[in-house]
Amino acid sequence: MFPEGSTQPYERTRRVLERLASTIRRMPNRVSVTGHTAAPRPGARGFGSSWDLSAGRAMSVREILAANGVPDDRFASVTGKADTEPMFPDNPYLAANRRVTITLLREAPPIPVGQRP
């Protein structure tokens, strides 16, 4: 989804996110965006903090979704997980671990004031 060391998605990923935004916009769910990174290879030159990189990826995706109509008040959280939750734990260096997860939250509907569940 992302070039190594970059917070900006590939152009193809950006286009997918832009299309996804129209579907998310029509749904009532709040949204959680979580960024991830691949583990740095031993001895490889780093690109800075994995935490900053993963959080930056999540922010970048939030900005793309917002620019394509998802209201700001629909975002419940935007977080970075660095390399702590690889998609492929057997090979945390794989490029596929450089990703974001977008979760539509399932929450209880708000209860009007003065009413009980």
Encode 50-82: b = buried (16+ Cβ within 10 Å), e = exposed: bbebbbbbbbbbbebbeebebeeebeeebebbb
User: Across the chain, what does the average pLDDT equal?
Assistant: 90
Task: Quickly state the pLDDT bin for 62 (edges 50, 70, 90).
Answer: very high
- Provide, rounded to the nearest whole percent, the portion of the chain with pLDDT above 90: 68
80: CB partners within 8 A, 6+ apart: 34, 35, 36, 51, 52, 53, 54, 55, 56, 57, 58
Task: Identify residue 5 by its one-letter amino acid code.
Answer: G
C-alpha distances (whole Å) from 51 to each of 5, 48, 82 are 12, 9, 5
Provide the residue range defining the domain that includes 59. 11-104
Total domains in the chain come to: 1
Residue 39 domain flag: yes
Q: Tell me, what's the pLDDT at 47?
A: 64
Residue 40: CATH number of its domain: 3.30.1330.60
Residue 73 domain flag: yes
Of 41 and 22, the structure prediction assigns the larger pLDDT to 22
* Alpha-carbon gap, residue 78 to 44, rounded angstroms: 28
Residue 5 domain flag: no
Residue 59 domain flag: yes
Q: CB–CB of 70/22 below 8 Å?
A: no
Chain segment 15-29, per-residue pLDDT in tens: 999 999 999 999 999
User: Any idea what DSSP says for residue 88?
Assistant: S
Residue 91 domain flag: yes
Residue 85 domain flag: yes
User: Any idea what DSSP says for residue 39?
Assistant: P
Residue 4 domain flag: no
Residue 2 domain flag: no
Q: Mean pLDDT throughout 85-101?
A: 91
Q: Tell me, what's the pLDDT at 91?
A: 92
